[in-house]
């Protein structure tokens, strides 16, 4: 089994950057200033030691520095490009008929592994409905659960009952916007390492939106699913196997059937306070 923290003595320049950057003091300078793991229980497995080492001397849990991309080699967006992305991003509610390429979806989901989580708990599940066929199966099950939930004592509220009937009849789809794909991100709160489940889920969704938009796809947050989840708590477990009570959020995605010509203006979007 690979060492958790492994130093290549032929490369280490004993600069101590890895020790200084370790957020919870898991590393220390050992004999002749060579870094070593001192408190493994404090290690978040964030791999900062591997990332910061200028000499490429540190491997972490079998991951070798030569297999990790050099940051310098990456083309990163400028501030202006990042601002333009944020400005031009829109919630798209009209999707083209065709499915998204499966390799592209796999690439986006793999990239999403880089999303940060509190204490590096990484206890997320990405449940992906990658095409129209899986969306149709899901919607069928979704309406089935809603109908089963309604019995003599429990009634669905109108905001849910009426759109559900329309969905059953193949009419308008206010919940899922007739998207050909959906990603549900959920967090496993039974893992004691998870401290920020709601934030972890939201950050992953936000990053998915960013990545999907960069790939020319359209996205729309599916807040409706959470509203339905509050009304019918078993819905996600029954339809997608997402454990009841697990924090989740969903993003609809697909090729856009609509293009926005200009950005909107939101100067007063938030109150900015310098405290
Ligand atoms: C957390 C969240 C939940 C949302 N849920 C829905 C939804 O269920 N259905 C929908 O059509 N739009 C949904 N939206 C989209 C918002 O309505 C949209 O972001 C807002 O109107 C601003 O438009 P823009 O995203 O195009 O800038 C949601 C957005 C967020 C951030």
DSSP codes joined into one string, 209-269:
HHHHHHTT-EEEE-HHHHHHHHHSTTHHHHHH-PPTT--EEEEEEE-BS----S----TTS
- What is the residue-averaged pLDDT of the chain? 95
Q: Which atom of ligand 1 is nearest to the CA of 227?
A: 8
- Look at residue 48 in the predicted model and tell me its pLDDT: 98
CATH class of 5-72: alpha beta
Q: Quick check: helix, strand or coil at residue 181?
A: strand
pLDDT per residue as tens digits for the range 132-173: 999 999 999 999 999 998 776 778 999 999 999 999 999 999
**Tens digit of each residue's pLDDT (9 = 90 or more) over 130-141:** 999 999 999 999
* 177 CA distance to ligand 1 middle (Å): 12
The number of CA neighbours under 13 Å toward the Cβ of 101 is 8
Q: Is the pLDDT of residue 118 over 90?
A: yes
Q: Which of 223, 228, 248, 260 to mutate to test the pocket of ligand 1 (most atoms within 8 A of CB)?
A: 223
The kind and range of the H/E element at 140 are: helix 132-149
Domains 5-72 and 83-254 share a fold: no
Q: What is the pTM of this model?
A: 0.95
* The CATH number of domain 83-254, selected from 1.10.760.10, 3.40.109.10, 3.90.230.10, 3.40.50.2300: 3.40.109.10
Range scoring the smallest mean pLDDT among 146-160, 179-193, 223-237:
146-160
CA-based max dimension of the chain: 76
The pLDDT assigned to 134 comes to 98
69-94 pLDDT tens trace: 999 999 999 999 999 999 999 999 99
**Six-digit token pair at 162?**
């009426």
Pocket perturbation via mutation, ligand 1, pick of 86, 90, 91, 260 by most ligand atoms within 8 A of CB: 91
With a pLDDT cut of 90, the percent of the chain lying above it is 92
pLDDT bin (cut points 50, 70, 90) of residue 266 is confident
Confidence of residue 12 (pLDDT cuts 50, 70, 90): very high
The domain limits of the chain are 5-72, 83-254
Of 59, 45, 44, 58, nearest to 15 by C-alpha is: 58
């Amino acid at each position: 089994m690979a060492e958790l923290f492994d130093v290549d003595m032929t490369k280490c320049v004993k600069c101590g950057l890895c020790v200084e950057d370790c957020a919870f003091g898991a590393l220390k300078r050992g004999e002749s200033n060579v870094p070593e793991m001192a408190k493994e229980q404090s290690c978040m497995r964030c791999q900062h030691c591997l990332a910061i080492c200028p000499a490429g001397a540190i491997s972490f849990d079998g991951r070798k520095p030569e297999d990790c991309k050099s940051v310098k080699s990456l083309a990163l967006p400028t501030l202006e490009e990042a601002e333009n992305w944020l400005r031009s991003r829109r919630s798209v509610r009209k999707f083209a008929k065709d499915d998204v390429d499966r390799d592209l979806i796999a690439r986006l989901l793999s990239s999403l592994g880089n999303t940060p989580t509190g204490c590096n708990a990484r206890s997320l599940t990405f449940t992906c409905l990658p095409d129209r066929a899986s969306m149709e199966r899901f919607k069928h099950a979704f309406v089935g659960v809603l109908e089963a939930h309604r019995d003599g004592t429990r009634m669905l509220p109108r905001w849910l009952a009426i759109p559900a009937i329309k969905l059953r009849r193949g009419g308008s789809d206010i919940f899922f916007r007739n998207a050909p794909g959906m990603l549900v991100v959920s967090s496993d709160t039974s893992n004691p390492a998870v401290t920020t489940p709601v934030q972890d889920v939201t950050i992953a969704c936000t990053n998915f939106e960013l990545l999907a938009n960069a790939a020319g796809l359209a996205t729309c947050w599916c807040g409706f699913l959470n509203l339905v989840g509050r009304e019918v708590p078993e819905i996600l477990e029954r339809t997608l196997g997402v454990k009841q009570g697990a924090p989740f959020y969903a993003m609809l995605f697909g090729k856009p059937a609509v293009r926005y010509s200009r950005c909107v203006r939101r100067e007063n979007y938030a109150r900015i306070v310098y405290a």
